[in-house]
Copies of this chain bind each other. A is one copy, B any other.
Amino acid sequence: MKITVHKKCQSHPAPNELALDTVPLFKNVAPEFLDQLKSASSTHDYAKGHVVFMQDDVAEWFYVVNSGWIKLFRQTLDGDEVIIDILPAGTLFGETELFSNHSFANSAEVVQDAKITAYPMSLLRNQISSDPSFAVQMLEHILHGQREQTKEIEHRTIMNASQRLGCFLLRLINVKKHGPVVLHLPYDKTLIASRLGMQSETFSRALARLKADLGVRVKGATIEIDSMDALISYTCSACSNAFPCAEE
């Protein structure tokens, strides 16, 4: 186990961080707790490639993505990488390694220049032990993450590559729209392929199939969909949830 140290000299201090109470877990907490967290926090800008923590590091901090994108991944003993998630701004990470002696179950790396705020895990632990209503909020937060993971296992088991890609696109749109839809991929295609647990070739074939069968057009990072109905019908029939995915 290694201990993660936040060297303040590693990067430039960065003000203008995300207001903590915009993060769902902290929306309805005691203002004193928010103040405590803020005054113990440390915000920095990191370039693409910066490793925030490594799998097995002692978990003494948890983090909020202010801007940019963070990749959570695990590495096999053979050295292969499995991407667990790619996190956008507004997301909390590391908070699941809550208990003393816990180490991070995965590594976290910046994949698009990011502003990240670190908060001491000890404050989170104290609040859970002393504020039963926060403990319940934390449980709800963790259970929400667990439901998303169960859905991920389902998708990796039963959906084909085109359906998984279709699901990824539909989640970016999120609401049913009539008529053509234009959307922009949030990060590069290689990373999307890895996030979906696919080889690049599988990803290309999946995209080609969406183009051929469902009229999805791709121009660089821009995706045009003539009608969402066909994509929804093709994708969501292989899922246990109907579109749009209910907040669970």
Contacts and interface: CB of A to CB of B under 8 A. Distances in A.
Interface of A: 55, 74-78, 80, 82, 84, 96, 98-99, 105-106, 128-130, 132-133, 135-136, 138-140, 142-143, 145-147, 149-150, 152-154, 156-158, 197, 236-240, 242, 248
Number of copies: 2
A76 B150 contact: no
Contact of A140 (B99, B146, B147, B197): B99
Nearest 4 pairs of A and B residues by beta carbon: A135-B135, A157-B197, A74-B240, A149-B149
Nearest to A77: B237
A97 to B, nearest CB: 8
A147 B105 contact: yes
A80 B77 CA distance: 34
A99 B76 CA distance: 36
Contacts of A80: 158, 238
